[in-house]
A and B are shown apart, each in its own frame.
Chain A
Amino acid sequence: MGMAIKDFLLLLVLFFSFTNPSFSLYEDQVGLTDWHQQYIGKVKQAVFHTQKTGRKRVVVSTEENVIASLDLRRGEIFWRHVFGSDDAIDGIDIALGKYVITLSSEGSVLRAWNLPDGQMVWESFLQGTKPSKSLLSVPTNLKVDKDNAIFVHGKGSLHAVSSIDGVILWKKDFAAKSVEVQQIIHPLGSDVIYAVGSDSSSQFGAYQINVKNGELLKHNAASFPGGFSRELLLISGDMLVALDAATGSSLVTINFQDEEISFQQTDISNLVGDFSGTAVLLPSKLPGMFSMKVDALVIFIRVTDEGNLEVVGKISDPAVVSDALLISEGQQAFALLEHGDGKIHLKVKPVNDWSSDLLKESIVMDRQRGIVHRIFINNYIRTDRSHGFRALIVMEDHSLLLLQQGEIVWSREDGLASIVDATTSELPVEKVGVSVAKVEENLFEWLKGHMLKLKGTLMLASPEDVAAIQGMRLKSSQKSKMTRDHNGFRKLLIVLTRAGKVFALHTGDGRVVWSLLLPLLRNSGPCENPTGLNTYQWRVPHHHAMDENPSFVIVGRCGQSSNAPGTLSFVDSYTGKEIKSLGLTHSVVQVIPLQITDSTDQRLHLVIDADQHAYLYPRTSDAISLLQREFSNIYWYSVDTDNGIIKGHALKSKCIQKDDEYCFSSRDIWSIVFPADSEKIIAAVRRKLNEVVHTQAKVTADQDVMYKHISKNLLFVATVAPKASGEIGTATPEESWLAVYLIDTITGRILHRMTHHGSQGPVRAVFSENWVVYHYFNLRAHRYEMSVIEIYDQSRADNKDVLKLVLGKHNLTSPISSYSRPEVVTKSQYYFFTHSVKAIAVTSTAKGITSKQLLIGTIGDQVLALDKRYLDPRRTVNPSPAEREEGIIPLTDSLPIIPQSYVTHALRVEGLRGIVTIPSKLESTALVFVYGVDLFYTQIAPSKTYDSLTDDFSYALLLITIVALIVAIFVTWVLSEKKELQDKWR
């Protein structure tokens, strides 16, 4: 008995050691196949610090809600914090010379960070009632010992917060007042703070508030006939400038510190002559001056003490202007930056003297960076005691550059922090014919490398050798070559960023191979607010056009709304040059890459517009004739989340009203209408179109066969009760439910429908082969859950009969049609899961043989690899020995999180948004690219690399062993011959 238990335990141990394949790395393997890049996003605001060690740093806040401290010399990140996606940063500043103050979440969260190391010092939540403009004002003359308050306006109230510990000193509520505060002004050393603003009509109000206790000292109000625009620009301590709201053609100066408020109106045409279009005030803070953009000109206007306006200078747009910077007592300077013939011209001027320049530099700028969007300047003392200036500029492609002494000191490709879509492209095939010298050198290097490795294996290596081995492994020249490799590990990752720039990253080391700012998708291009949507592989040379380069297409739209006209850009993936671009006349809602390629290997794409018309690309007659063959077999679906309707569409005929032979009209063939009062669509997921399934049959332990229902036309839809569609905790378990559906998208059949009561979203799901895994929150159990649904085809279940197979009475070869009544069974199971999830993906391999792993982007911005076998609906509490043999794990109520199975090991992919898996040519291995604010790439082998030797396999050791064995065989042979001879002579 005891023996049996022992045996069983042993078996169990063996079993578990087998079922938990460790994906973990050794410490020295980090960085061999993976790389990690850190970004911050487009910089919104930058604050330089001028004291002591702080001189070398700049603190920036970005549009990706990141606050970071950067090294001014090299552009590296000292420290960085990524705020949540709903915690946008409104303002940053430095207080007490040692704290970075950030105001975020529409002026409701105020935090202080320690400047040297980025530790959080304090955090204050500011309560308010109504949304309003959030303003941060940190007094500049801070003496370290004196507790000066920080003034924050947000959510309709003004707070004074102690900068030492974040305690709220006083609060003044403006929510009840009609005036919306636009500016808070705290004159240097004054005991009075001014809050000024205007209401929706023409009323202007100024409040004087006591700095010490928040007492309202005085309230002035005046109305200006016609009203003025929202933006109030502060000129000096008592003067504001605004545009009038009615016509936008005159400037209003407002003087508010006197006993009463006075207005003075000046026509812009009086200042600059006639102009067309609208005038825009630029938000640069310049004392006694302001700048305005009119008719492709930037005009600088000085305000005299009497409130009179005079034009001091004009420069041509595009140009940017920095805030004023105090360089010495009483002298302030600002920078302006113009473009001209591939260069940027930087000028630094004193505020009070337009005609002189403190600095004038011209720098050659890469065209692919577009125009300059923002500029921040900082001064330093040169070796000759004169004033030097450095400028931090933000470009159109979101990159960040530091200019100093007429050079680009460093640049950061921060556009990569906002990736919209990613795809891959193959590298060129290696040219045959390598020079002999290169081979010889390589041979020597190769031998040397292997001797070193051998020493390492035999533990003979000295510490220097170990370091050399590690260095060699990390920068193996093999992995960063610009040619295709045998295993398909080297590829180009083509990523589209929000700025409309396309980057090609090498998978070997993550470097940017080329980048291209798409002319159609840049802000300064032909359309307003363009957005990049997706990238698709356009041409993968395969059969016909072997000598052509592969190319891809980038789909975008001119504007934010879904019925804005679309754009297509075709880009060569080897050279990174745009082949052609099309501004479309129709909108783009959906792009369907068809399974058909034309004679030049271009893939046919159908672009669906907002009216459900389909447009065929490429626009060739060849493509039309190819499409006609499959015309009646093209179906698609559309999900209308706002109305809760899913519709199926099929191609009907050529467009009637439009004179376009590549346009086709469609008809609705099915619809599903979810009741508006009980269900709201929150997720719709389908299978990846290029997924490969190895086999349809699944053999169970008892020699039974189950047939997977494998269809590319399955859609997983999750709906929740409208009440429960908000945050977790806003609905009770009784009023929340989650319904899941599996829908065939050809006929609109609901193959599976199930309701989880007491559960709610957010739902993250992944669909692969015949299963879908989804993640949601269970309100009753107060935990996240992960569920799996597997769908099996019953119509083929009869084929198990051997006799039938012999007699040919099987339906294995009959084509599957969605119009047949489906005979499917579903199996599902539910598990608790500890983490909340940001994204789920599944590994995909070349032939689909290797077992699958789920890649789960956790809330901690890491990627966890979870074996699909843990999410097998056939798991039972007591699997039979046969089932155990098959690999079924005993049922547990929650999914295990094995620390070694983090794909990202010790790293974090901050702001994780997406996980892309790409099959390599090696069946065992998949490539994983994770993007968010950071980028991470690695190779994973879900069932270990069973089909290749690892990189650090020592061939030298193998050779030496073989040679040694052969020698030993000969020696023993000779010895034994001798001995035998001696024996015979005896």
Chain B
Amino acid sequence: MSFSHLRLLVLCLSLLAASCSIAFQSDELLIDDEEFGLEGGVQSKSPDLSLTRSQPSATTTTRKRFSDPDSDSKIQFSLEHAFGDSNFSPAGTFTARLKTWNHGGQTLTKLRFSRNAFTAEEERNFELLLQSDDFYRIRLPSNVLSPPGRDFVISSVKARCLARESLDEHFVIHTDGVNILAVNYGAPGSCPYPRQMKLPAKWSFNSYTILKNSEQAPRAPVFTEDILSGEVGEGEVVQPPERSFWAKYWMYLIPLGLIVMNAITQAMNMPEEQAGGQSAGQTQQPAAALQRGPTSAVRRR
């Protein structure tokens, strides 16, 4: 536990030493720069982690470096879980930093999660869930400052989706300021439908958490003259097609060639026909068969 913590710390330190030049608040960032804490029994770094890292609100940490450190405050809110239809009981704690902006808005950043290990009874309950393919439910308060806010946000998953080697779980917490809109809970990977009954080898959780804020819709494109200039500009781009002369005009060239060939053979046959020999016409290629109708008509005349 502490070892891994240290490792993380060292990692962050080295990262910071390389990039960060503002000294006075570097120690703040050190511990909590990780957006998603992963704790519990085993702390294997999953490839998923790096994948999800790009998503969270990285802007909040970078944009306002100079904001008053005093306006940050640490808050905690608890995760509760329930087995099937049982009552909710505490299952872990989320720790986050609440940033207050100059304009009065508040955002949650630097979310960390520590999960309580299953007790023996909880393990037994979970096994029952696995057997009956039932729901494992979790909930969070909808407001982190005054939990539970108006109501709890609930999420649930079929227990069989979580059980692998150990228990893998994945939280996506949708926030809006200090409010939690929803928590999406489930397995980090896929969970195909005929869910197989499988007991985990290790009764410990691998937890991945992501904080998500709303994206801003980009502005609708406003352009009036751009279109015209764009189209004219494009006319020049379109002009050099890489297709060759042959590729472009083969459909005209082939019939033309046939006609020319036909004309040549006709011209060659003309003197022979004068002599009364008609057999020469039979030796034409099959490709010229099309032309035969009209030519024979010509001949008969």
Interface residues of A (CB under 8 A from B): 1, 4-5, 8, 632, 643, 645, 647, 650, 652, 667-676, 678-679, 739, 747-750, 753-757, 778, 781, 785, 787, 795, 814-817, 819-821, 828, 830-832, 877-878, 881, 890-893, 980, 983
Contacts and interface: CB of A to CB of B under 8 A. Distances in A.
A787 B217 CA distance: 10
10 contacts: A672-B153, A673-B179, A747-B155, A747-B186, A753-B215, A755-B217, A781-B222, A787-B217, A819-B191, A821-B186
A702 to B, nearest CB: 15
Given A747-B157, A753-B212, A878 B150 contact: no
By DSSP majority rule, is chain A's interface helix, strand, loop, or mixed? mixed
Given A676-B150, A749-B172, A816-B193, 10 more contacts: A8-B239, A652-B85, A747-B156, A747-B157, A753-B215, A819-B191, A820-B191, A821-B187, A830-B219, A831-B220
B151 A645 contact: yes
A299 B73 CA distance: 76
Contacts of A674: 181
Given A672-B153, A673-B142, A750 B215 contact: no
B14 to A, nearest CB: 31
Contacts of B156: 669-670, 747
B230 A755 contact: no
Interface of B: 85, 133, 135, 137, 142-143, 149-158, 161, 170, 172, 174, 176-177, 179-182, 184, 186-195, 212, 214-224, 226-227, 230-231, 233-235, 237-239, 300
Contact of A748 (B149, B184, B224): B184
The 4 closest A-B pairs by CB, nearest first: A830-B220, A820-B190, A675-B179, A673-B142
A753 B174 contact: yes
Nearest to A653: B85
B99 to A, nearest CB: 17
B185 to A, nearest CB: 8
A652 B135 CA distance: 11
A673 B189 contact: no
B187 A819 contact: yes
Contacts of A645: 150-151
Contacts of A675: 142-143, 176-177, 179, 181
Contacts of B191: 817, 819-820
B174 A754 contact: no
A673 B182 contact: yes
A730 to B, nearest CB: 22
A342 to B, nearest CB: 56
Contacts of A669: 135, 137, 154-156
A817 B193 contact: yes
B189 A821 contact: yes
B140 to A, nearest CB: 10
A821 B220 CA distance: 31
B158 A893 contact: no
Nearest to B240: A4
B113 to A, nearest CB: 17
A748 B212 contact: no
Given A755-B215, A756-B217, A820-B187, A983 B300 contact: yes
Contact of A819 (B157, B179, B224): B157
Contacts of B182: 670-673, 748, 750
Contacts of A877: 221, 223, 226-227, 230
Contact of A890 (B187, B215, B227): B227
Contacts of B239: 1, 4, 8
Contact of B221 (A795, A828, A891): A891
A865 to B, nearest CB: 23
B184 A747 contact: yes
B88 to A, nearest CB: 12
A820 B137 CA distance: 16
Contacts of B212: 750, 753
A890 B228 CA distance: 11
Contacts of A4: 235, 238-239
Contact of B190 (A650, A667, A748, A795): A795
A678 B215 contact: no
A478 B177 CA distance: 64
Contacts of B150: 643, 645, 673, 676
Nearest to A778: B220
A948 B204 CA distance: 64
A781 B154 CA distance: 38
A877 B230 CA distance: 7
A855 to B, nearest CB: 23
Contact of B176 (A678, A830, A980): A678
Contacts of B170: 821
A819 B186 contact: yes
B195 to A, nearest CB: 8
A877 B233 CA distance: 11
Contact of A815 (B192, B214, B219): B192
A983 B195 CA distance: 88
B214 A753 contact: yes
Contacts of A814: 192
A750 B177 CA distance: 17
A828 B217 CA distance: 9
A878 B230 CA distance: 7
Nearest to A668: B154
Contacts of A828: 217
A120 to B, nearest CB: 37
A607 B207 CA distance: 39
Contacts of B222: 781, 893
A819 B158 contact: yes
Contacts of B218: 830
A828 B218 CA distance: 9
A819 B193 CA distance: 8
Contacts of B154: 647, 668-671, 748
Contact of B153 (A671, A749, A892): A671
B153 A781 contact: no
A739 B150 CA distance: 20
Contact of A830 (B152, B195, B214, B217): B217
Contacts of B153: 671-673
Nearest to A671: B154
Contacts of B223: 877, 893
Nearest to B217: A756
Contacts of A892: 227
Contact of B234 (A1, A830, A878): A878
Contacts of A819: 157-158, 161, 186-187, 191, 195
A678 B193 CA distance: 38
A185 to B, nearest CB: 53
A638 B166 CA distance: 34
A755 B215 CA distance: 6
Residue of A670, A820, A892 with most chain B CB atoms under a 10 A cut-off = A670
A669 B184 CA distance: 11
B214 A755 contact: yes
Contacts of B133: 632
A643 B177 CA distance: 19
B157 A667 contact: no
A805 to B, nearest CB: 19
Query: Of A1, A753, A821, A890, which is in contact with the most chain B CB atoms at under 10 Å from its CB?
Result: A821
Nearest to B235: A8
A675 to B, nearest CB: 4
Contacts of A668: 154
Nearest to B184: A749
Interface-centre pick from A676, A753, A830 (highest chain B CB count, 10 A): A753
- Most interface-central of A749, A787, A819, A828 (chain B CB within 10 A): A819
B216 A754 contact: yes
* Residue picked from A675, A748, A754, most chain B C-beta under 10 Å: A675
A754 to B, nearest CB: 5
B209 to A, nearest CB: 13
A738 B250 CA distance: 56
Contacts of B231: 878, 890
A652 B181 CA distance: 25
A5 B235 contact: yes
